[in-house]
Amino acid sequence: MADRPLSVALRQGGPIPLDVEFTCHSGDVLAIFGPSGSGKTTILRSVAGLYTPSHASVYSGVDTWTDTETGAFVPPYRRAVGFVFQEYALFPHMTAVGNVMTALGHRPRIERRHQAEALLNLVHLGERLSRKPGELSGGERQRVAMARALAREPAVLLLDEPFAAVDRSVRRRLQDEIDSLRRKLDMPLVLVTHDFEDVVRLATHVLMLEQGRAVACGPIATLMSRPDLAWLREAVGLGSVFDATVTRIDADRGLAELTFDGGALLVPGRHVNVNAPVRVRIPAREVVLAASAPAGLSLHNVLAGTVTDLHAEAGFETIVVQLAVGRTVLLAEVTRDAVSRLGITVGQRLHALIKSVSIELLAPER
């Protein structure tokens, strides 16, 4: 299927300040990340046609949904949008299958029940078809809402804080569900969240929002490797994020081998399967730099790379070194003294030393 990107530009001074512009392609997950009150949900409502800023353009492929310059506006019910609301907005008197059928009005009546059941099976609720929302757990209600959103056969899927009403363990399973779904669906997916774990586990791209203004937007691997985003350092700590594949598991040693475009890493081997895609995060504070490859150490991971940038920020006693390892950028947060002793400069070849237990592996639950 041809790419049908979602292209959005929203600007206004008030009552809700907005200054954002982005494009999300089919198969991508754009996470809109920022504190409460920063305008995240307003962006989703603008895409869905539930709100129109002073200056707005919203396009789905070649279709114009909103253009305040020309006055073009497609009403919400005519937009191919699947919207999962924060509170799920399910009909309490209807069963799970009944809730999904309400979004299938565009299908012939004889097909609606079968299609609703197929969608509930897709989100692993085939045994809960006749349950009403009050008889379902928070995670199950979220999955019914997801199935109902998909029932509209949308061109874009919008998720507004989809994990806000569930605990951490259920959140992890639902993240895996959405990650699995997005790999099967050929549409842009826009996720609003204030939880950084959602971003790291699910996003391919990130829009960082502050008081309605986009402060950064781009692929997650690029943004997470930007040391100039001071608020990111303060909120979650700097670190590199990238995708890898499990290529081997050594049960005797308790290790798994991951390959990525910068080489290979050894990590603790629990909770992963061979050939599984995984997301990796390496905190910048856990990376040690060396002028030459060391010997006689207990750590497993030594990666050679080239220094591409050094970032020193006022008020911090450390310097963040960017190291290109293949096409992956690693960050190392080291002392000014270490930079001086090693004579670190842009273009220098260095080795990054990383303990296996310091690598955060975000793998689907088995």
In the chain, the domains with their CATH numbers are 6-227 (3.40.50.300), 239-362 (2.40.50.100)
- How far apart are alpha carbons 155 and 5 in whole angstroms? 9
Find the DSSP H helices in 123-253.
138-151, 168-184, 196-202, 220-223, 230-235
Contact 144, 174 (CB under 8 A): no
Look at residues 75, 40, 49 and name the one whose alpha carbon lies nearest to residue 190: 40
pTM: predicted TM-score of the whole model, two decimal places: 0.80
- How far apart are alpha carbons 214 and 283 in whole angstroms? 24
Contact 148, 126 (CB under 8 A): no
Specify the DSSP class assigned to residue 97.
Answer: H
Positive or negative: CA dihedral 145, 146, 151, 155:
positive
Look at residues 35, 15, 7 and name the one whose alpha carbon lies nearest to residue 211: 35
How far CA 154 is from CA of 42, 83, 103, 158, 204, in Å, comes to 19, 9, 11, 10, 20
Q: What is the pLDDT of residue 224?
A: 80
Digit-by-digit pLDDT tens for the chain (366 residues) are: 567 899 999 999 988 899 999 999 998 999 998 877 888 999 999 999 999 999 999 999 999 999 999 999 999 999 999 888 877 678 889 999 999 998 888 888 888 889 898 888 888 888 888 888 888 887 788 888 888 888 888 899 999 887 766 666 677 777 777 777 777 778 899 999 877 778 888 889 999 888 889 988 999 888 887 777 766 666 667 888 898 999 999 888 889 999 998 899 999 877 788 888 888 999 999 999 999 888 777 778 999 999 999 988 766 788 999 999 999 999 999 999 999 999 999 999 999 999 999 998 875 544
Residue 105 φ/ψ, nearest 5 degrees = -65, -20
- How far apart are alpha carbons 36 and 167 in whole angstroms? 19
Q: What is the pLDDT of residue 365?
A: 45
